[in-house]
Amino acid sequence: MKALVAVKRVVDYNVKVRVKPDHSGIELANVKMAMNPFCEIAVEEAVRLKEKGVVTEIVVVTVGPQAAQEQLRTALALGADRAILVQTDEEMQPLAVARILKAIAEIEQAQIMLLGKQAIDGDNNQTGQMLAALGGWSQGTFASVLKLEDGKALVTREIDGGLQTLELSLPVVVTTDLRLNEPRFASLPNIMKAKKKPLDIKTPVDLGVVVTPTIKTLKVEPPKERQAGIVVKSVEELLQRLKQEAKVI
């Protein structure tokens, strides 16, 4: 069984995000980039499935600029076998990414597609669902437990009322949640080995996919700075301030 894992290059979660002076987007120049944390969980789960003998090959893919090879090499160091970079400098939106992943999944004939449930930059939580819809495949989102048994995928997912377990036929798209696993660190020997693992470069044109953005960002603004709190002397003063200053009652 072949697993296809999608990863995304994002601003490192430890970095304080800054808005460009012209409010056209986020400042990315000279900013530390990393693999999306939810994508790390997806890679880890694929590696664990391979260690159990369930998955025979792990193909990791990303869509983005040439610099995104760094994140693919990280995934290879964590245990993936091959990598594919769909290189483009266009602004990538969920539907375009889903179309590209569908094309690659069909070429690779993957039986399980693992994605992070969302990226920490756009926070869209759309690509996995769109991929399943485009391919007509089963989907299990927000997975906290994943088992592959007897040609079926058993996905336990977190919902408002508790936990829900689904039995899904293959091929299947699974989006990973935080409690699915704890990603490992890449060892130095594996980092060196990853440099020799195959990494193919394609373009959206090679896959017959149009990636022209369909949504336009008009303006990006940082959140307002929080004001310091105040201490009130009585309930009466609190109610007065809520009514006259905060105007919430």
Domains of the chain: 2-244 (3.40.50.620)
**pTM assigned to the model:** 0.86
d(CA 218, CA 78): 38
Check if the beta carbon of residue 239 is closer than 8 Å to that of residue 249.
yes
Residue 48, pLDDT > 90, answer yes
Q: Name the percent of the chain in helix, strand, coil, to the closest 5.
A: 30, 30, 45
- Listed in sequence order, the DSSP H helices in the chain are 37-51, 69-78, 94-108, 127-135, 188-194, 235-244
Instruction: State mean pLDDT over 1-13.
Output: 94
d(CA 249, CA 247): 6
Angle at 102 between CA 176 and CA 5, to 5 degrees: 35
Residue 185, exposed/middle/buried by CB under 10 A (0-12, 13-18, 19+)?
A: exposed
Which pLDDT band, with edges at 50, 70 and 90, does 73 fall under?
A: very high
pLDDT single digits (tens) 98-135: 999 999 999 999 999 999 999 999 899 999 999 999 99
